[in-house]
Amino acid sequence: MNESTKQEVCNRLKSIEGHVRGVCRMVDDEAYCIDVIKQTVAIQRAIAKVNALILDEHLKTCVTTAMRSDDQSERQRVLGELVEVFQTESRL
């Protein structure tokens, strides 16, 4: 992963971490349930953005390198990983 993507991912994760702490405070303060749910949905969207950044970088680097490789087993392995990630995501 290139440095700028690493930094952006880490910054977003730190922001998400703070957001989660804020939602914990909301729960402790007995905030209205729908307000808490709205915040957890926002956290899920933020995590999805992090995943999209990482996937984009992975496709541009690791997957591209594997697809250009003469090693068919490496190409199959990388494609299998992608399929597995999306299958896991669809089960959630």
3-state secondary structure of 54: helix
Instruction: Write down the mean pLDDT value for the chain.
Output: 95
Asked whether the predicted pLDDT for residue 90 surpasses 90, the reply is no
Domain borders along the chain are 3-91
CATH number for region 3-91: 1.20.58.1000
50 neighbors 11 (Cβ within 8 angstroms): no
How far apart are alpha carbons 34 and 50 in whole angstroms? 24
**Euclidean distance between CA atoms 49 and 40, whole angstroms:** 14
pLDDT, tens digit, for every residue of 51-62?
999 999 999 999
Q: What is the pLDDT of residues 26-46, one digit of tens each?
A: 999 999 999 999 999 999 999
Q: Give the mean model confidence (pLDDT) for residues 67-81.
A: 94
Region of 30 please: left (phi>0), alpha (psi -120 to 50) or beta.
Answer: left
pLDDT score of 91? 81
